[in-house]
Amino acid sequence: MKTSEIAIMQKLCASILTILAVAAAQQPAGLTLTDVPLWDPASKEPPAQFADTQYVYIDLSTQEYVISYPVGLGEGQKNGPRITFRYQPGWVVEPDVAMTIGKDPSRGFIYDYTVKNDAKARRAIRFFKVVVPSQDDAILMEHPRWFGNTGSPNVAPLAGLREGSDLRVQANMGKFASWTNSNRAAAIAPGTVEAEFRLISTFRPGITSSYSTNGNALAPPEPLPGAVLDQLMPLMLPEKNQKIVLTFGPKFGPGGPQSASWIANDYAYGIQRLIVARRLWADSPFVEELLAALRSIAEMGAAEQRADPLFAPVKVEAQPGTPLERELEQAVMLALQP
């Protein structure tokens, strides 16, 4: 192969990798490029290789799903005029979740959240949710302007912490503590912040999932054929249709594992997930030292000759260097100390 041909091939490969990287960066956390084929923004028709079997696409230029199917699909027709419409999913928001934890001797742990919607978001946040244990029947929710309620048990996946076949295992499911504001003008618009989301619980803090969404409803022009619903409905699951941010919230309490080794092991796993998500850094002195301390505590439960205590001191010399590291330090200390 000539030098000029090699140069052309290298440029072509670089262009393809750039396109894939940009496309992957624009996907929501729970969605991958293999879930939905890309729609060409310059085209009014689906890609020819998919037209007969694929009815849901994604237009990354507008961050919309494009639903396109033959008019007679419900009667088995694969050709002819098509019905095409768009739906902007719930994940077109850009939440940044900050939080603090306090302890009240009479009420338990106080979890306070502040939610910022980045200026580059396409829509306002109208729903903010935290996954809490299904067993926490006494949990309280507060906010001066938003309405809060807890949903059904065992329906809220710990997305971002678990994945694949483990995501919807009952042991990895909780319930949603969800806030919403019926006044659209009071939603968290791009570039704005809303504070004072509060949970009060006797359950000790752990790493959990938060969900943010604009709550945009799907409004098809007509009832959708079954073949279209089969492709569309998996994308409407909360872990696919909402933006996930790992945070800290009620997790360890009565009716569930409470030993120090179990809690430490859960934190160690969660920290690894935060590193994968590039929100913590593996070479941070604080993260390195904390992980070592947690793994040491976790090993206590594996030693048959040693008792597994309810609490265990965590000693870390390195200072947390980021806001998330400070939140993590606070949560771990409260979870593992009396």
What is each CA distance from 323 to 4, 18, 95, 236, 279, in whole angstroms? Answer: 50, 32, 15, 32, 10
**What residues contact residue 91 under an 8 Å CB cut-off, 6+ apart?**
28, 29, 30, 31, 213, 240, 241, 242, 243
Residue found by looking up tokens 């999932």 in the block: 209
CB 110 within 8 A of CB 197: no
CA distance 176 to 292: 32
CB 274 within 8 A of CB 322: no
Amino acid 172: pLDDT: 83
* pTM of the full structure: 0.87
What is each CA distance from 22 to 26, 159, 242, 244, 292, in whole angstroms? Answer: 6, 23, 20, 20, 36
CA distance 225 to 241: 21
DSSP 195-206: EEEEEEESSEEE
Helix (H) or strand (E) holding 19: helix 3-26
Amino acid 152: pLDDT: 93
CB 197 within 8 A of CB 112: yes
Residue found by looking up tokens 């690894």 in the block: 272
110 residue type, one letter: I
| Sequential pLDDT tens for the chain (338 residues) | 554 444 444 443 433 333 334 444 444 545 554 579 999 999 889 988 888 899 999 999 999 999 999 999 988 888 889 999 999 999 999 999 999 999 999 999 999 999 999 999 999 999 999 999 999 999 999 999 999 999 999 999 999 998 887 888 888 899 999 999 888 788 999 999 999 999 999 999 999 999 999 998 999 999 999 999 999 999 999 999 999 999 999 999 865 556 888 899 999 999 999 999 999 999 999 999 999 999 998 887 655 435 556 677 888 999 999 999 999 999 999 999 87
Amino acid 48: pLDDT: 85
